[in-house]
Amino acid sequence: MNRQPLKGLLLFSMFSAKGHILMAFSISLMGAIFSLIFGTTPMFSFIAITFFSTFSLISNASEMKMDGTKWAKFQLSMPVKRRDTITARYIFYILLTIVALIMTGIVESLAHLFAYLNIISYGTFSLGGIGPIKTLLDAMAMTPIQISYYVLLFSIGSALLSCAIYYPLAYGIFKGKEELTALAVLVGNVLITFGLLWLAHRLDFSLSQTVGLGVIIPILLLILSYFLTVKIYQKIDV
């Protein structure tokens, strides 16, 4: 199977999104420095994944505006399947999420190394404004490593959920309406998350089971979203 068109679409997405990628990296880097200084690195994965996933959607929204221009007509004249166009968008999103995960791993490793060298105190939440969060987590008897683990899983689930909601709407009923799509993603993410929390409560799930549900369901929704978006895009006229 020839994957050259798909690679070309991915390279195009990366090239057109380089400004957004740089911005996400810069903000995440500042967040990393802040986290290392104040010992809040267990929460860093949320910062990195949120910004990389958000700027990925912003970049794709900008690229999708060209779907009604000569670029779209030229793209359809190339030996590129419409499925490949959608596949490239989903892969691009996942790749940026992986970049955020790698960055999280580096920051966490540095935090443990600095804590071992007594340079910083890992997971102390020493910044005053985060004190109430630490009190809550202490009451739940969670260690900093457990906090990192749960926050990481929650962040991944939230990012995948945003992607699962975004593309069917962006190519469907909200096509060409980026602001409404962004609002729908935010509202949908919140509603589904609270729905999963309610379901976990009704089923008397533990914290680990609840977080696991918050990852498994978004993965399933992402897969469903991909096939739905492919079906929608194949029916779109330029």
Per-residue pLDDT tens digits for 51-106 = 888 888 887 776 665 555 555 555 555 566 778 888 988 999 999 999 999 999 89
- The Cα 212–Cα 151 span in angstroms is 11
Number of H-type helices and E-type strands within the chain: 9, 0
> 6-20, 45-59, 130-144, 149-163 — which one is most confidently predicted on average?
149-163
Instruction: Note the pLDDT of residue 157.
Output: 92
Question: What is the overall mean pLDDT for the chain?
Answer: 80
- The Cα 227–Cα 236 span in angstroms is 15
Instruction: Note the pLDDT of residue 3.
Output: 64
Instruction: Note the pLDDT of residue 156.
Output: 92
Mean pLDDT of 36-61: 82
Question: 0.85 exceeded by the pTM?
Answer: no
Higher pLDDT, 162 or 179: 162
Distances (CA, A) of 124 to 31, 112, 119, 148, 151: 16, 12, 13, 12, 16
Backbone angles phi and psi of 88, in degrees to 5: -60, -40
pLDDT for 134 beyond 60: no
